[in-house]
Structure 1
Amino acid sequence: MILLQNLYKDYQVNGKLVPALRGIDLSIEKGEIFGVIGHSGAGKSTLIRCINLLERPTSGSVVVDGVDLTALEDRKLQEQRRQIGMIFQHFNLLSSATVAENVAFPLKLAKRPKAEIERKVSELLSLVGLEGHRNKYPAQLSGGQKQRVGIARALANDPKVLLCDEATSALDPQITNSILALLRDINRKLGITIVLITHEMHVIRSICDGVGVIDGGRIVESGKVVDVFLKPQHPTTREFVEQVADSVELRETVAHEKSSGDRIIVRITFLGEQTYRPILFQTMMETGTSFNILQGTISRMKDTPYGQLVVELDGDAQQVNSTIEALRLRGLDVEVI
């Protein structure tokens, strides 16, 4: 659906060339919710604005639904942009227009018939849960309601792609969760491909199928959220994973246990339905190995349940190795830490 190939973007700042993107290669599937996570200044906002060519890349190509946007003249590009909706961190609503008028704005620009505009506005306000607010002005709305208006407006032209530029970072946690749930619902109902950028791993874990980690203008790690979250490879990725994991406490616990003697400590990862099965207990009973749970969590990544336990194993080397092998044979990922 979206293919970025060898994408570079440079800016001229005080006569000097400043690179923002450095050879980005990224592929996003149709109907996927894909997140790009990175620190401030990493290049994520530039990247998402290059997808609809609000920022024109210095070199490389941007292909959306089989069309190379970088090869289009202005008129053709404008037509293709209608297939790409965008919502913003600070909403960007027209303050002097009502909710209904804000949603209708892109439809009026496209010169749609009045009856069609009215029908579409009502349909979209129902979709985002704002049926009773159509005649209000942005100043009368909460932050979450303003973002819902922004989402409805972005969907007005029935786009195939929805870009979200830090869409929840100006909202409190409870409202953030409601907006994420709305985006997830829109993805399921409409089959629309969603690309969002964020600096919060919670957002990625909640709704994304895939993720790319950007650092210094480069994608340093990418893949399915489950794989990247549970087995982060790059230091930047591990730093973001710590936002939603007790990694600091874990390091302190492991250091304390190691200082107490020669211990075998493992991280056991459960995925899917195995998360809810007594696999650990059954295996330990069979091998006769004693164990002590140092830390554990059970949660979900979008639709996938997962669990992680940090366990101290007590027994001779052969017994412990047999236990680890038995756990792996039952489909668990076991890492000696």
Structure 2
Amino acid sequence: MLLLIELTGVSKVYQSKDSVVHALRDIDLKVEKGEIFGIIGHSGAGKSTLLRCVNLLEKPTSGTVKVGDVVMTGLSEKELQERRKKIGMIFQHFNLLSTATVRENIAFPLKISKYPKKAIKQRVDELLELVGLAEHGDKYPAQLSGGQKQRVGIARALANDPDVLLSDEATSALDPQTTDSILELLLDINRKLGITILLITHEMHVIRAICDRVAVMEQGRIIESGEVLDVFLNPQHATTKEFVSQVSEELDTEILRSKAEGRIVRIHYMGEMAYEPILYETVRATDATFVILQGTVSRMKETPYGQLIVELRGSQEDTDQIIERLRSRGLEVNIIL
């Protein structure tokens, strides 16, 4: 495991004459090189503060921040400005220069870094192609859609060939279809460039679509973290369960209880098992039957994932045997009723 971002004991306190606000409380966070790591939480949970502590736009009150082999919290202001060039940032509201063209917006950080004109043109051309805006280079932000503006923001964040891309609610101002296209772009960038992405969001759909791991925040603390599939399938904290419910169909257990003739179970499939007739084969080996009450097959990043709500009708012995055999095949089976 090669770590690219490491926060140790990071706290952030805002103090005024009348109040003290603990925005972050003793945060420990490790992000591996090349992964997409998501941080989810409600407004005020501390997500944005945490993200801005990575590039020290917010300076921690205590604790250390390390990016690559550099301890960010130990740098002088001049050293910090230089190091920030390798940490790209995408903003929720794009932050584009309205009087500059798309090309000029993307070139802006390169001009500040005093790149030669020829190198700037070449880099901007590459980035326009990468984000799908090759034909829009001479347009102004007012002539672009929200999704196109965010693509410009992403290209600008990549201009200095960063090691890390920080995404601050990059899709929350966009409609669902445009959100999906931006998430696909971020995933494509991660695959092609191997760039590490740390993103914050309040939408579980974003986490499920592209993240490898996730941390859930509440009141300035990380309350739960792990592989996205693990957290999604087995959320521990009430806040995590609330977020997971955003992308899970609700099950009315009272209606099921009144209609059920057998045992109702929830079966989770992962990987290629989502497309195999495991349930049919397992039930066929007994005298029981089954009824599918609800089912979905989707993907979490690149992993197929399926969920079935099934009523097993048969003897206690047969249904116990079915559940045991399904679990022995690596499926997660939860008894609902």
Give TM class, smaller chain.
Answer: over 0.9
Going from structure 1 to structure 2, the CA distance change for 1:11 and 1:262 (only over 3 Å counts) comes to: farther
Determine the structure 2 residue equivalent to 1:322.
321
Kindly report which structure 2 residues correspond to 1:122-201, keeping only aligned pairs within 5 A, or say none: 122-201=125-204
CA–CA distance in 2 between the matches of 1:205 and 1:103? 29
Give, as a single letter, the amino acid of the residue that structure 2 aligns with 1:336: I
Report the residue type matching 2:205 in the other structure. Answer: H
Asked if residue 64 in structure 1 is aligned to residue 35 in structure 2, the reply is no
SS in 1 for 2:114: coil
In structure 2, which of residues 15, 20, 33 is the aligned counterpart of residue 17 of structure 1? 20
**Aligned equivalents of 2:24 and 2:311: distance in 1?**
44
Q: Which residue of 2 aligns with 1:258?
A: 257
Aligned pairs for 1:4-43 within 5 A: 4-43=7-46
Code of the aligned partner of 1:77: L
Q: CA–CA distance in 1 between the matches of 2:187 and 2:255?
A: 42
Question: How far apart in 2 are the matches of 1:25 and 1:259?
Answer: 47
Q: Judging changes above 3 Å, is the alpha-carbon distance between structure 1 residues 204 and 43 closer, same or farther for their aligned structure 2 residues?
A: same
Contact 1:220 1:234 in 2 (8 A): yes
- Cα distance in 1 between the residues matched to 2:219 and 2:45: 5
Q: Does 1:50 align with 2:53?
A: yes
* Partner Cα separation in structure 2 for residue 23 and residue 279 of structure 1: 45
TM-score (norm: length of structure 2):
0.96
8 A contact 2:260–2:311 mirrored in 1: no
Find the residue that maps to 1:18 and give its secondary structure.
strand
Q: What's 2:91 paired with? A: 88
Q: Report the aligned-residue RMSD.
A: 1.3
Distance (whole Å) between structure 1 residues aligned to residue 137 and residue 261 of structure 2: 67
- From 213, 219, 223, the equivalent of 2:222 is 219
Amino acid at match of 1:334: V
3-state SS, counterpart of residue 331 of structure 1: coil
Summarize the Cα distance change of 1:172–1:260 in structure 2 as closer, same or farther, 3 Å threshold: closer
1:14 Cα deviation from its structure 2 partner? 4.6
Q: Which range moved further: 84-93 or 96-105?
A: 96-105
Alpha-carbon distance in 1 for matches of 2:20, 2:313: 58
1:282 partner amino acid: E
Once the 2 structures are TM-superposed, how far is the Cα of residue 82 of structure 1 from its aligned partner?
0.8
Give the deviation of 1:19 after TM superposition.
0.5
Runs of 4 or more above 3 Å deviation = 259-263
The Cα of 1:166 is off from its aligned counterpart by 0.4
Could you list the runs of 5+ residues in structure 2 that have no partner in the other structure?
Answer: none
For 1:279-294, what aligned pairs fall within 5 Å after superposition?
279-294=278-293
Q: Distance in 1 between matches of 2:97 and 2:10?
A: 33
Q: Which residue of 2 aligns with 1:76?
A: 79
TM-superposed CA distance for 1:316, in Å, is: 2.5
Match of 2:114 in 1: 111
Offset of 1:239 from its aligned partner?
0.6
1:250-305 CA distances to partner (integer Å, 9 max, x unpaired)? 1x1x2222245784221111110111110000100102222222211111011100
SS in 2 for 1:239: helix
Is the 8 Å Cα contact of residues 96 and 105 (structure 2) preserved in structure 1?
yes
1:200/1:240 contact within 8 Å kept? yes
Task: Please list the CA deviations of residues 179-203 of structure 1 after superposition, one character each: whole Å capped at 9, or x if unmatched.
Answer: 1111111111110000111111111
**Equivalent residue, structure 1, for 2:308:** 309
Determine what percentage of the aligned residue pairs are the same residue. 65
CA contact 1:128–1:152 (8 Å) conserved in 2 = yes
| Contact 1:257/1:263 (8 A) holds in 2 | no
